[in-house]
Structures are given as C-alpha cells and as structure tokens.
Amino acid sequence: MPSVRTVSALLLALVMAATLGGEAAHAAWPGRVAGGGVVLYLLLEWRHLGLSGKGLVLAAGAAAVAAAATLPDGGRAVGEGLGRAAFFATFITALGLLRQAALGSPLVRRCGRLLVHQPPARRYAALSLGGHLFGNLVHAGGVALLATMIRQGSGAITDPAARAVREQRAGLAAYRGYAATILWSPLTVGMAILLASFPGVTWPELALPGAGLAAAFMALGWGLDAVAGGRRGAAEGPRPAGDGTAADLGRLVALVAGIMGLAFAVAGTLSVRLVPGLLMSVPVVTVAWLMWRARLLGPPAAGRLALRHLARRARHAFPAHRGEIAVLAAAGMLGVAGLAALPDGAVAGLAAVVPSPAWLAGVVLPWGLLALGLVGVAPVVGLTLAAGVLGGAGVGGVPPEAAALALGWGFVMSVIVSPASMSLLMLARLMERPVTRVGLGWNLGFAALALVAFNAGFLALYG
C-alpha cells in the first residue's frame, strides 16, 4: 500500500496536470476539480501543518461554506476559489521542480561561492545581484543556499563582532536582492497574485517599471551599506578552490532568460497568459537541465536518469510544500469566496477606504501592507486580500497597473520585515538570529526609507 508521502506527491502531480491542462484547453472545470485535489492533499498533510497554516485553511473553509450558503451563485464563487487555490498550488509545485534541479547543480554552487567570496568593496553588490538571480531560479531556497555559504565563509573570522557584522551585511544583501525579484519576475508568487487579481493588467505593464523599482531598491540597500562602512573591510585570504567564474554566472543568466523566452513562446502558441505558459515550460526546462548534466551517458540514459531523479525528489519535496501550499491555497479561497461572501457593497466600501487622489493611494497602499505584516498577517495573505479588493473594485483615479505596483512595493517591504514572512523566518533560522531582530532590527528602518522614496516617486508621477 502506498505511503501517505507517495499519495501526497501523486495528488500534487495530478493537481498540476489538471490545472495546466485546463489552462491549455481554456476550460475552468479542470482547475476546480484540481482544487478538490488540493483539499485532499491538505487533509493528508494536516497533522504536519503549523498552527498558522491550519488557522488559514479553516478560515478559508469557513469562507467557502458562507459563500455557498448565502449567495445565489455561491457554487460559482466556491468553484472559482478552488480554481485559484489549485493555480497557486500548481505554481509552488512546478517551481519546486526547478528548485530541486537548481539546488543540486554544481553550477549553482560554484556561482554561490563566487558571490560569497567577493572582496568587501564588491560583496554587497555581488550578493544582492546573486540573491536576485538565485531568487528567479531557486526562490527562497537561493537565500538558504547563500546564507549557508555566508555562515561557512565567515567561520575563519576570529573576532565575534566582526563575524556578526559580516554575516549581517552579507545576509541582508542576499535577502534584499531576492525580495526585489517580486517587483518584476513572473517566477515569483507575488507577481502571480497581482496578475491573477488584476486581470486587465499584463506582465509587461508591471515588469518594465517593476524592474526599475527593483534596481532602485537594491541600489538603496547598497548605498546605505556603503555609508555604514560596507565598502571598507580588512584584507582577507584568497578565495577557496572551486569558486565559479563570470562565465558561470553568464550561464545562469542565460538559463533564466531561456525560461522566460520559452514561457513567452508557449503562452503565444497556446494563447494563454504568461504565468500559465511559464508553469508549462518549467518541467520541460527542468528535465532538459538534468539531462544536460548527465549528457555523457547519452540522450536515452540521461532522460531516464532525469525522470527517475525528479520522481525521487518529488516524493520527498512535494509533501514538504505543505506549509506554502496551505497559506497560498487558503489565501486564494479567501480572496475569491471570502470577499464574495461579504455583504453587498462591502468590497466597494473597503476599496473606498483607500483615498481617491492617486498620490495619496500610493502612500496608503504600501504602508498598509507593511502595517498588516507588522501585526502578524502573513505577507502573501495581506497581498491576496488587498489585491482581491482593489482588483475587483478599483481605486478612483489610480490606473490598475499603478495600484498593482504600489501593492507589490508594500508586499516587498512586508516580506523583509514581517515576523510572519516565511522566507524571513527561514533566513533568521539559518543565520541563528531571532526573526524580530532580522526583520525589525535590521530591516524596518530600511523599509521605511524605501517606502518614503516610493511615495516621493509616486507623488511625482500622479500628484
């Protein structure tokens, strides 16, 4: 009889296949059926979920029951919520395949060592760009990889204070670079939520200004580090053997560009949105990457080895996605059925809380998301609910793409500060620091300054 782990992995594989099949066929019902698979998966993994995950799933279930019981078209709202939950679960599952391939890649590890062992004057910029690049391929796993290398690289420093300063600056550089990917990359959960919640907004409309915002965000961090003395440092020994080269980094950049290019090609060929096209492309890229690493065996043997490796890793990795999937699936249901179950006019009333002058909306939206994160609301839940309200009701005087960018900026600030941020919790654990110290102590002042800078830019554009 198959184990619970095996059944969970098979369920997620079926959820992914049904969701992407429905997208390709332009049919809604496969995604809704896949949402039922997500419910079964969460029931199987229930005893392993944390309290916050269980609370969110129960809240989503209550919202679905309320919508079904009180709305004339409650079944439609619940079905859409299940479809949204399945889509987010598919997002985590598909990109989890790419993460498994990347984490086992010698190329990725060589590049990580190259970035970590840069001279002090270049280290912050290198790690920030590295966190940005790894964030596209490995997501929060890239932060984990770099943080582990940072800790290993600082082990030779005998002065505890100097070692702590180096770990803080290097860890912040990598983490802030990773967080900045949310502002433009379709490979991030934040961008997937924004595009799903603002159906009239396309990825290029967010990506072009978002890339500029990401560059400004990372430049601000580098500038503050330089002012604090980050460009000064004691001489260090030679780099350890096995470091990567600039050519290795170029190969990783080419890989990310190839994924994006294939996603555009698939989306155009099948007439689907970019993110579903991306998710359809990722398994193909993952298998091709694994086959390339085993290319000396010949194509047939390399293909068999790649598929066996993926099946083995999926059996262990897919059940481990339970925490992320619980939060995202619950947020998806709350953002659809939960909002639909509110009394008539309530969603419009919530949207009306945001001031109508565009420049003032640019102040309230990002600061509001940060405030939600500070009081313990998971950043992804805050973004899903806020985007669900504004994507449906809109904000007077604010173009939807501008509202989406403001929410994206606020989401990034919440991700780097909130004690409820999953990636921040992981970073704090790896750095062996309290999460409040990493989020509030190290990042809150930076986040406030970044928000003020964003507000000034928003005012210049829409004031």
pLDDT mean values, one per 10 residues, the chain (463 residues) = 85 95 94 94 93 92 92 90 95 88 84 83 89 83 78 70 84 93 92 91 93 95 82 47 77 89 94 93 91 88 89 85 92 89 64 61 88 93 89 70 93 95 88 90 95 89 70
Structural contact between residues 99 and 188, judged by C-beta atoms closer than 8 angstroms: no
Q: Quick check: 85 and 336 in contact, CB under 8 A?
A: no
pTM for the full predicted model: 0.85
CA separation for the pair 139, 42 (Å, rounded): 22
Please tell me the predicted confidence (pLDDT) of residue 362.
78
What pLDDT is recorded for position 239? 52
Task: Please tell me the distance from the alpha carbon of residue 244 to that of residue 264, in angstroms, as a whole number.
Answer: 30
CB atoms within 10 A of CB 369: 29
For residues 117, 122, 124 and 126, what is the CA-based torsion angle, rounded to 10 degrees? -70
Our CA dihedral for 331, 332, 335, 337, rounded to 10 degrees, sits at: -120
